[in-house]
Amino acid sequence: MLENISSNKVFGGWHKQYRHRSTVLNCDMRFAIYLPPLANSQSVPVLYWLSGLTCTDENFMQKAGALRIAAELGMALVCPDTSPRGDAVADAEDGAYDLGLGAGYYLNATQAPWSSHYRMYDYVVSELPALIEQHFPVNEQRAIAGHSMGGHGALTIALKNPGRYVSASAFSPICHPLACPWGQKAFTAYLGDDREQWKQYDAVELIKSGAAPLPMKVDQGESDPFLAEQLLPETLIAAAKQMQFDLDYQLHAGYDHSYYFIASFIETHLRFHQQHFQ
């Protein structure tokens, strides 16, 4: 059952937040949806946006400037939370921002205590879309995008589910979590020490293993403080070149990791996805 907790008319459509009980995550979850004016008369395609570390549904919906363009294009936007929540949900013992609450990494955890709740992959791929398609005027045309940890999630989910998404895009994604401190910390906790198991949630490894190509766009700020140590876009570019995988990669001088960067180029991403909706 969905509980509507906020509703705001914007650009002729509606931004709404809902709370529901997630069977997959074993807790209550919140998501936001933007329904464009066109949804009043017909079903519309939907873009799923996955946010980064420490974020909720509100960061993208309030800061990205995406709603005006989505209204024009007749595209619904759905933004889930970044992890399970609640008093019973495990968190990092030291309160670290890069593990536990707000840091679900869009995978299915296999290690205790995380495995009882941290199954964000199944939530994003299956449970949430089923809920959206049951209760809202959207069709089965889906695209997926995200930022940072959410960019990692968007790319890996699209690569692991050929045909489910018409396109994928990311801002400043964690491209190769096997090789960066953020990914190594989270994957060790959530998945254990077997690095072979990690590869199923790594965009570089998925492309190198022969994942089916799909339209993919990545934008990166050249002044991003996490660029060299954590994001490693050069590994994604090399894998795409090795496998002749078509990747639209753009590096932007002066831009950082913030929503100022996302707001500057979100229109190009929405129009990129719109080209691939039927």
pLDDT at 81: 98
pLDDT at 1: 87
- For the segment 219-274, what is each residue's pLDDT rounded down to a tens digit? 999 999 999 999 999 999 999 999 999 999 999 999 999 999 999 999 999 999 99
pLDDT at 181: 98
Q: Which of 152, 224, 269, 273 is an active site residue?
A: 224
Token pair for residue 52? 């980064």
Residue 257 annotated to the active site: yes
Q: Which of 22, 83, 148, 172 is an active site residue?
A: 148
pLDDT at 13: 98
Residue 117 annotated to the active site: no
pLDDT at 37: 98
Which residue from 58, 78, 230, 256 is spatially nearest to 154, judged by alpha carbons? 78
Which residue type sits at 271? R
Domain ranges of the chain: 2-275
Residue 148 annotated to the active site: yes
CA distance 85 to 102: 8
pLDDT at 118: 98
Q: Which of 147, 152, 176, 257 is an active site residue?
A: 257
Q: Judging by DSSP bridges, how do beta strands 27-35 and 76-80 pair with one another? A: antiparallel
Which of the residues in the chain have pLDDT under 50?
none
Dihedral in degrees, nearest 10, Cα atoms 21, 22, 27, 28? -40
Token pair for residue 272? 């990129």
Asked if CATH classification 3.30.420.40 holds for the domain at 2-275, the reply, yes or no, is: no
